[in-house]
Amino acid sequence: MADIASAGAAAIAGAAALLRAGRLVAFPTETVYGLGGDATNEHAVAAIFAAKARPRFNPLIVHVRDLAEAERLAVFNEPAHRAAVRFWPGPLTLVLPRRPGVGVSLLASAGLDTVAVRVPAYPVAQALLREAGRPIAAPSANRSGRVSPTEAAHVADDLGDDVALILDDGPTPVGIESTVLDLSGAAPALLRPGAVTFEALTELLGPVSLPVSALPKSPGMLPSHYAPRLPVRIAATDARPGEALLAFGPDAPPGFAEVLWLSRAGDLVEAAANLFAMLRRLDRPSFTGIAVMPIPEHGLGRAINDRLRRAAAPRGS
């Protein structure tokens, strides 16, 4: 099993030394736990893909300390600068043209001429970046296709021996991944709804296009992702035999084998923070499936519904 260490100063220094030596370290951010590797080391980045068992080279987010460091890796246009000033540090990832000749692993960009950069706000992540003294490539610290980890134990369950050290700082406060915004093209494009809301982005930048995954269409259009083992049924208003329920709002329909409340108060922030941990808790063979009550399609609800639609999408082979 991987070493789990409480994220104090000594453990963070140890984690930074492991990163500099090319090893992988899981660490908390404000969104979810990341599986970090030295973004300037091709071997470390390749090890991230191997540990996640990613079927293909999906590009990774490169985490940096601040805007100045991000500007050394990527070319910022005016909207990118505005978004960074407004939302960094914080749960926004910007896809921008790579600066030619920078030392960031080409594999981290999966061969694209863009790079995804993010400045996390979470103090442990900031301290780790400072100690490591280099950018850290970090996808969510789950096996490919599984639910993202919001607690150290989730990382240990999924990745075990493939990570040298897990820095534990309790549950992550936001609980859903960063928003991925592509500003490398002619117009802003949302690639992944996340913790920074679509409404907040359009208010700052004007029109932003939405991905298919963020449109409330049939889950059948989406690749399955973020999936528990049990089938997931969204917008459920009644019980089917043996199902467990993720409830939202004060009243849950009767007849479910077990009910966990994403938020009794109908609070989307609370629901996002609980989402992945509760999906994991209900993912037990004693149930026939996980039903989820309707979640409103605004604010953080867009990101929650995006993840739920993917979890409910027909499973591949």
Options 99-107, 132-140, 275-283, 286-294: segment touching ligand TXA (CB under 6 A)? 132-140
Q: Tell me 28's DSSP state.
A: E
The tokens for 228 are 């528990």
116: contact with ligand TXA by CB under 6 A: yes
248 bridge partner residues: 263
Report the alpha-carbon distance of residue 222 to residue 276 in Å, rounded.
19
Shortest distance, position 148 Cβ to Mg ion, whole Å? 5
126: contact with ligand TXA by CB under 6 A: no
Out of 93, 140, 179, 184, point to the residue binding Mg ion (CB under 5 A): 140
DSSP secondary structure of 38-91: ETT-HHHHHHHHHHHT-SS----EEE-SSHHHHHHHB---HHHHHHHHHH-SSS
167 bridge partner residues: 5
Shortest distance, position 52 Cβ to ligand TXA, whole Å? 8
Query: In the range 280-309, which residues lie near ligand TXA by CB under 6 A?
Result: none
Count of CA atoms in the C-beta half-sphere (13 A) of 111: 3
Shortest distance, position 149 Cβ to Mg ion, whole Å? 9
37: contact with ligand TXA by CB under 6 A: no
DSSP secondary structure of 221-289: GS---S--SS-EE-S--S--TTEEEEEESS-PPS--SEEEEEETT--HHHHHHHHHHHHHHH--TTSSE
The tokens for 215 are 């449109």
243 bridge partner residues: 289
* Beta carbon nearer to Mg ion, 33 or 198: 33
* Beta carbon nearer to ligand TXA, 56 or 251: 56
Shortest distance, position 212 Cβ to ligand TXA, whole Å? 13
Which x/- pattern, by CB under 6 A, does the window 42-61 give for ligand TXA?
----------------xxxx
232: contact with ligand TXA by CB under 6 A: no
Report the alpha-carbon distance of residue 107 to residue 312 in Å, rounded.
30
Three-class SS of residue 202? helix
Which x/- pattern, by CB under 6 A, does the window 236-255 give for ligand TXA?
--------------------
Q: Residue 256's closest CA among 288, 296, 294?
A: 288
Shortest distance, position 141 Cβ to ligand TXA, whole Å? 7
* Beta carbon nearer to ligand TXA, 129 or 293: 129
Which x/- pattern, by CB under 6 A, does the window 4-33 give for ligand TXA?
-------------------------x-xx-
Report the alpha-carbon distance of residue 317 to residue 315 in Å, rounded.
7
Q: Tell me 214's DSSP state.
A: G
Query: In the range 170-199, which residues lie near ligand TXA by CB under 6 A?
Result: 177-178, 180, 191-192
Shortest distance, position 286 Cβ to ligand TXA, whole Å? 29
Q: Binding residues for ligand TXA, per CB under 6 A? A: 29, 31-32, 34, 58-61, 91, 93, 95, 109, 112, 114-116, 118, 138-140, 177-178, 180, 191-192
Binding site for Mg ion (CB under 5 A): 140
